[in-house]
Structure 1
Amino acid sequence: MRDQEPGPGHPERRLTTKEAAELLGVKPETVYAYVSRGQLSSRRTPGGRGSTFDAKEVEALARRNRREGSGSPGSGSELSVRTHVTFIDKDRYYFRGVDAVELAARHSYEEVAEWLWTGRLRTGITFTAPEESVAAARRVVEALPEHTGPTDRLRVAAVAAAAADPLRFDLSEDAVLGTARILIPTLVAALPPKRPSHRDEGSLALRLWARLSGRPADKARLHTLDTALGLLVDHDLAASTLAVRVAASARAHAYAAVSAGLGVIEGPLHGAAAGLAHRMLLEVLDLGSAAPVIAEELRAGRRVPGLGHRLYPGEDPRARALFALLDDIPEAAPALAAARDIVATTARHAPLHANVDLALAVLTVSCGMESSAGETIFAVARTAGWIAHALEEYGERPLRMRPSGHYVGPKPPQPQPLPE
């Protein structure tokens, strides 16, 4: 039954979530995704046990979807992609139905990755790569200019590792899983270490630490880095993940699919956002106050990095988990205080909460890492999630991720252009 029928006292007809989903031909979760994208508005029902939607808005969106070929079964352009990997619900998110924050806190990055790929928890697993894969990746990375960023290094390392793998075109599940367990440690090993005497041993987090910081890795900081990797493994259909699924839909091999994801995260609105937050945090620490730094960001018309997330009305659960761990690291206290100053200062005009980029910035600043370290952590972590989505996409109809263009140019036929 509809929440409200039109009438003299109720000029606006409201639909329940179930009714809106049926009208749009999507799952109820997708209705809330439309809300988060700003395509629909919602209103909490009395008592707060659900939401209702303006019927006219829902009907207009349904018409637009039909007109543009979006979301119609079999059109190859579904707005909603079926996945078993990650579910985001208000202020929490889950990997294969398991609370992701708790999973990352209790298990290593490699164990979280295995859970995401297979639904099995392989306690104590570590990823290692054959020497020929590492050697090929290191050769091409060492040939890059000194100023090359981490994402460029990871991208060419992935290409080199692919060229060294004659079985890369085998898209069976076992083969792709084998690729994943080799590719991730290869990417890490290809990055230049901060200490030349470093030996590649131990967990992936320990090996990555040696590429990010010249300081020794104590237990607390290493656990924080490992937890950050686990928290960042996947986050539903982020832009880079969608790119990976498009590549996998075209049956690109796993190395190429990961390369597609690496190409997307270099943008300042995705993986590189943590670097912007890192530099802002250093400015706040240098000036002793967030106020002038925030003022300059706003004066320049820029968004304050590290704040707000369209999927979470409150604080990003990944940020909350990392801040709790950083609270136990004495050296992180100044950077934590600066981050809290940023949040409090910005809250005077916008109720924005900290997101994972700000938490990564606190980690990288307090551990003496470069501003690009957050981007590196994000890219290495997310590679496991990209593999999980590629595996799912290999099981779907090929080339289904192909939307139809909505042409808005001059009405054809037009006359042939004259030479200038």
Structure 2
Amino acid sequence: MTKFLSAQEAAAELGISVSTLYSYVSRGLIRSEETEGKSRARRYYVEDVQALKQRKEARRNPDVVAERALNWGEPVLDSSLTLIEEGHLYYRGLDALELAQTSTLEAVAGLLWMDELDETIVGAAAEFVVPSFYQALRPQLAERTPVEALQVVLPLAAVHDLAAYDLSPAAVQQTGARILHLFTAIATDNQLAPTIAQSLQQAWGSAQPQYGRLLNAALILCADHELNASSFTARCVASTNANPYAAVQAGLAALQGPKHGGHTERVEALFREAAVSGARQTVMGRLRRGEEISGFGHKLYPEGDPRGRLLLDLVSQLVPEAPLWPLVQEVVELVYESVGKRPTIDLGLVTLSQVLSLPAGAPLTLFAMGRLVGWIGQIMEQYALDALIRPRARYTGIRPLRRIVDRAG
């Protein structure tokens, strides 16, 4: 990916003269550096040129910029939680991939909620007291996935948790911990261990410690991802001062859509087809039919989603003998050779779940449980802003008529 432009290219991109470009550089608006070789010509950072171009466009046509911002466009609000920059993901300035291999989901929750890498902020899962109303519901939810069950339980939990109406930072953090532990209890059928990853490992039937390491990494990699659809939805709800249960309920609904976390089901379908028809026939068939190959390519990561890459690397290190692994590798190689796209977090979650023989719905469960941590951090920021998110719509319908009879003819 090109990082630099020549003076002529930068000037052309901005629609200015080279002399004006030099003035922008002198004012610190565009960075430059000398090239190697005899000419010692300077080259200019493409990201600075693009940023300046977007600012100029915003001044000329703010309506267009606002519209584009809703579709992978310019940032629309401030957040100190997550940075996505040059193919890297950071939580409050710390490398998320490093955290996934060295920390716990509980500690990352402390980081995102209170800016402290501290497990005690969330508390031990094993100490959570499962509400009595949920115990009564368990038989009716037995056939539902954990995400579906949580969607049913959240409104009832809110009714029984009056403390959730306290929207102070410390109170929201405590409510977030209760919701997170409730989800863990649902996903594990009340088999709670000291940590969330250990609880899942224990309930999902593995005594091997490396499985817990994989689950923990997956949860952390899903914890937050800037202003994605579900996080923005949660923030919109929180901006009305609805309680955290309502905001999480809204985020969970958005996450299940097939263009978001529900995309994992499409990846599962890809693997099922490849297992029967073979990787090459499956990939080539989809390309011939003009169909999307699910689980590949992310707009924020032109060089590949680092979360998906790390999950696949961990699977190859910790479970290299898994029967599914050769098929996954073949699909990944074929897609990259064919269309140049690399695996996303969705493919990583499905691979991990199938390699470990996790229960139905596990990829989305891991996604939602990790992202719940991020939703709480996002809504804490929104409560602190104390501002309603209320964008305006550009009306494109029929202009008002003077009299109703004019419309009727």
Q: TM-score, normalised by structure 2?
A: 0.82
2:291 corresponding residue in structure 1: 302
1:261 corresponding residue in structure 2: 251
Structure 2 Cα separation of the partners of residues 54 and 378 of structure 1:
32
Structure 1 Cα separation of the partners of residues 364 and 321 of structure 2:
19
1:204 corresponding residue in structure 2: 196
Structure 1 Cα separation of the partners of residues 8 and 217 of structure 2:
50
Structure 1 Cα separation of the partners of residues 262 and 310 of structure 2:
21
Q: CA contact under 8 A between 2:83 and 2:89: conserved in structure 1? A: yes
- Is the aligned partner of 1:324 residue 2:313? yes
1:126 corresponding residue in structure 2: 124
Per-residue CA distance 1:136-183 (angstroms, 9 max, x = gap): 23444543483x444321212222221110111100111111111111
Q: CA deviation at 1:57?
A: 7.2
Residue 296 to residue 106, structure 1, CA distance change in 2 (3 Å): same
Matches within 5 A, 1:275-354: 275-287=265-277, 289-330=278-319, 333-354=322-343
Q: CA contact under 8 A between 1:69 and 1:403: conserved in structure 2? A: no
Structure 2 Cα separation of the partners of residues 238 and 181 of structure 1:
22
Of 185, 192, 205, which aligns to 1:189?
A: 185
Of 368, 375, 385, which aligns to 2:364?
A: 375
1:38 corresponding residue in structure 2: none
Counterpart of 1:227, as a letter, is A
Residue-pair matches, total = 380
Q: CA deviation at 1:229?
A: 0.5
Matches within 5 A, 1:61-140: 61-66=58-63, 79-123=75-119, 125-127=123-125, 130-131=128-129, 133-140=130-137
Of 348, 363, 366, which aligns to 2:352?
A: 363
Matches within 5 A, 1:173-252: 173-191=169-187, 193=189, 199-210=191-202, 213=204, 215-252=205-242
Q: CA contact under 8 A between 2:58 and 2:65: conserved in structure 1? A: no
2:153 corresponding residue in structure 1: 157
Residue 129 to residue 302, structure 1, CA distance change in 2 (3 Å): farther
SS in 2 for 1:88: strand
Structure 1 Cα separation of the partners of residues 326 and 142 of structure 2:
37
Residue 385 to residue 411, structure 1, CA distance change in 2 (3 Å): same
SS in 1 for 2:84: strand
1:41 corresponding residue in structure 2: none
SS in 2 for 1:327: helix
Residue 332 to residue 242, structure 1, CA distance change in 2 (3 Å): farther
Residue 370 to residue 301, structure 1, CA distance change in 2 (3 Å): farther
Unaligned runs of 5+ in 2: 31-40
Q: CA contact under 8 A between 1:70 and 1:403: conserved in structure 2? A: no
Q: CA contact under 8 A between 2:229 and 2:254: conserved in structure 1? A: yes
Q: CA deviation at 1:369?
A: 2.0
Q: CA deviation at 1:187?
A: 1.1
Structure 2 Cα separation of the partners of residues 388 and 254 of structure 1:
11
SS in 2 for 1:167: helix
Q: CA deviation at 1:330?
A: 3.5
Q: CA deviation at 1:244?
A: 0.7
1:34 corresponding residue in structure 2: none
Per-residue CA distance 1:371-418 (angstroms, 9 max, x = gap): 52100100011001000010000011321x111010000111364378
Residue 117 to residue 208, structure 1, CA distance change in 2 (3 Å): same
Unaligned runs of 5+ in 1: 29-44, 73-77
Q: CA contact under 8 A between 1:71 and 1:79: conserved in structure 2? A: no
2:33 corresponding residue in structure 1: none
Structure 2 Cα separation of the partners of residues 55 and 199 of structure 1:
54
Of 408, 415, 418, which aligns to 2:396?
A: 408
Of 152, 165, 168, which aligns to 1:169?
A: 165
Q: CA contact under 8 A between 1:179 and 1:254: conserved in structure 2? A: yes
Structure 2 Cα separation of the partners of residues 302 and 192 of structure 1:
36
Structure 2 Cα separation of the partners of residues 360 and 393 of structure 1:
29
1:39 corresponding residue in structure 2: none
Structure 1 Cα separation of the partners of residues 13 and 145 of structure 2:
57
Structure 2 Cα separation of the partners of residues 261 and 323 of structure 1:
27
Residue 320 to residue 247, structure 1, CA distance change in 2 (3 Å): same
Counterpart of 1:109, as a letter, is L
Per-residue CA distance 1:197-248 (angstroms, 9 max, x = gap): x74223111222355x3x3231111101011111110010010000011011
Counterpart of 1:126, as a letter, is A
CA RMSD of aligned residues (A): 3.5
Counterpart of 2:404, as a letter, is Q
2:36 corresponding residue in structure 1: none
Q: CA contact under 8 A between 1:140 and 1:160: conserved in structure 2? A: no
